[in-house]
Structure 1
Amino acid sequence: MLVRIVKMGFYKRNIETFLSTFNDNKQYIRNFNGCIFLELYRDKNNPTVFFTYSHWKSEEDLESYRKSDLFIDIWSKTKPLFSMPAEAWSVDKMTTLE
């Protein structure tokens, strides 16, 4: 399993547009082949910063999503809203405690 974390900063005026785009597409992302988990977080200290947190069965599944028409469409609507370059990390989960 692969965990993908993406940090995105938005201009205040663009936050509602981003949230609308995310909400319109979150089920499509979550149901994309290989995606097994999806969450959206908002920074407590800077409300213009958001993080997506997703789990993928494999790196190939994530890459398939990143090359898909769905991702290309979402990214083309989201990227112009940024106030700073997005940052992304692909990590392996080491430990989970519940």
Structure 2
Amino acid sequence: MFVRIVKLSFAEENIEQFLANFETVKQKIRNFKGCQFLELYQDKNNTNIFFTYSYWATEDDLNNYRHSDLFKGIWAETKPMFNAKPEAWSVDKLESLA
């Protein structure tokens, strides 16, 4: 399993639309084969910056999602709302304390 972190920065006027779109697709993303966990965060100081955290069983699962019609549709809807280039990291979780 590994974690995918994506930083998304939106124009202020697009935040409400992004959140509405996320609401409609979040279960589809979470239920995509290999996705084990999904969270959305909003920066406390720069409220136009969001982060998604998703856990994937394998890199192939993430790549299958990234090449799916679901992702292509989400990306087509979301991309015009950005005010900066998205950044993404794939990381291995080394420790987790609850």
Q: CA RMSD in A?
A: 0.4
For residues 96 and 15 of structure 1, the distance between their equivalents in structure 2, rounded to whole angstroms, comes to: 31
For residues 70 and 64 of structure 2, the distance between their equivalents in structure 1, rounded to whole angstroms, comes to: 10
Q: Name 1:81's counterpart in structure 2.
A: 81
What is the CA-CA distance between 1:2 and the residue it aligns to? 1.2
Q: Point out 4+ residue stretches in structure 1 off by more than 4 angstroms.
A: none
Q: Name 1:16's counterpart in structure 2.
A: 16
Whichever residue aligns with residue 43 of structure 2, its letter is D
Report % sequence identity. Answer: 60
Where does 1:56-95 land on structure 2 (aligned, <5 Å)?
56-95=56-95
The structure with the largest strand share of the pair is: 1
Secondary structure class of the residue paired with 1:64 = helix
Q: Write out per-residue CA displacement over residues 54-82 of structure 1, whole angstroms, 9 at most, x where no aligned residue.
A: 00000000000000000000000001000
Gaps of 5+ in 1: none
For residues 63 and 20 of structure 1, the distance between their equivalents in structure 2, rounded to whole angstroms, comes to: 25
What is the CA-CA distance between 1:21 and the residue it aligns to? 0.8
For residues 76 and 21 of structure 1, the distance between their equivalents in structure 2, rounded to whole angstroms, comes to: 12
Q: Name 1:35's counterpart in structure 2.
A: 35
For residues 77 and 67 of structure 1, the distance between their equivalents in structure 2, rounded to whole angstroms, comes to: 15
Gaps of 5+ in 2: none
Whichever residue aligns with residue 45 of structure 1, its letter is N
* TM-score, scaled relative to structure 2: 0.99
* TM-score, scaled relative to structure 1: 0.99
For residues 25 and 8 of structure 2, the distance between their equivalents in structure 1, rounded to whole angstroms, comes to: 17
Q: Across the two proteins, how many residue pairs are aligned to each other?
A: 98
What is the CA-CA distance between 1:11 and the residue it aligns to? 0.4
